[in-house]
Amino acid sequence: MRFPSPVSLQWIATFINAELIGNTTAVATGINEIHRVEEGDLVFVDHPKYYDKCINSAASFIIINKKADCPDGKALLITDEPFEAYCKLVNHFAPFTPSAKNISDTAVVSESSIIFPGVYIGHNVTIGSNCIIHPHVSIMDNCIIGDNVIIQAGTVIGSDAFYYNGKKNREHWYKKMPSCGRVIIKNDAEIGANCTIDRGVSHDTIIGAGTKLDNLVHIGHDVVVGNNCLFAAAVVVGGCTEIKDGVTLWGQVAINKTLTVGENAVVLAQSGVPASIEGNKTYLGSPAQQASAAKREMVWIKRIPELWAKMKGV
């Protein structure tokens, strides 16, 4: 999430009651989570496993619960509860704002677009020209819909990320991480019926130009889908995954989180992708492997009873 304008670290340290060390005169331009950080961003870390990763990431400023060596030009904001500090900042700069209207007064919708009855359009949503938004679609706050986009009935754009801070030393183990990102759907994309596309936790979920989603597709938080992709029904894509241009995912494919699917890859139906895969190849199975190898394995598996019978007869 970008701040409306750069924010002084001195002000942030006071606001979250943190000790500030390092580049104390700097300003932060945004707040982010570790998978999408950029220069100028503020990020939080509260587990030793991720201290080094956060401190040495692209983030310029780190909310942390332990004193540590601070790289030149960066700053640490030390507080007992970094997650609570992060939430306080998000809720300050992106507060929840209820709506009493089907279409918010702050939404901008092109006159050439068709909005069917029963559509909900939240605060600060932008919808471009020549779009068709079918009945009972919900487009939540701050989402951006390009030109010539079709969204079929019952789809939800911009629902909260499924992202929780988990600690077993408290009564309720999982605390919701507030979502302050957006969903951006680019020109000429089509979204099927009853799809769900989660907003980014603190960055953007992006559906590329010309990409087509079938019904019942779920796209997790902070996913970036390239241009001209094709996803068949019941595809599931985990958070922070990057899917390059021209990828085809056939029905019921499941993609794990925080991985990359290369350009023009094809993943055949009911496959599971647990790790990054190269582009320009066809994959099958769970875990997915190149389809030619997977098909050979299937042939040999079918021959096991025959081979076993021969062995018993020896």
Tens of each residue's pLDDT in the chain, 314 residues: 999 999 999 999 999 999 999 999 999 999 998 888 889 999 999 888 889 999 999 999 999 998 988 999 999 999 999 999 999 999 999 999 999 899 999 999 999 999 999 999 999 999 999 999 999 999 999 999 999 999 999 999 999 999 998 888 888 999 999 999 999 999 999 999 999 999 999 999 999 999 999 999 999 999 999 999 999 999 999 999 999 999 999 999 999 999 999 999 999 999 999 999 999 999 999 999 998 888 888 888 887 888 788 887 75
Note whether 57 and 72 are within 8 A (CB): no
Tell me the three state secondary structure of residue 9: helix
Dihedrals φ, ψ of 213, to 5°? Answer: -110, 135
221 catalytic, yes or no? yes
Rg (alpha carbons) of the chain, rounded to whole number = 23
Pairing mode of beta strands 75-78, 19-22 = antiparallel
pLDDT score, position 314: 59
Q: Which of 35, 134, 218, 221 is catalytic?
A: 221
pTM: 0.92
pLDDT of residue 312: 79
From 84, 75, 81, 77, select the one nearest 40 (Cα to Cα): 75
DSSP per-residue string spanning 151-217: E-TT-EEEEPP--EEE-TTSSS-EEEPPP--EEEE-TT-EE-TT-EEEPPSSSEEEE-TT-EE-TT-
Name the residue among 137, 142, 136 with its Cα closest to residue 97.
142
Report pLDDT for 168.
Answer: 85
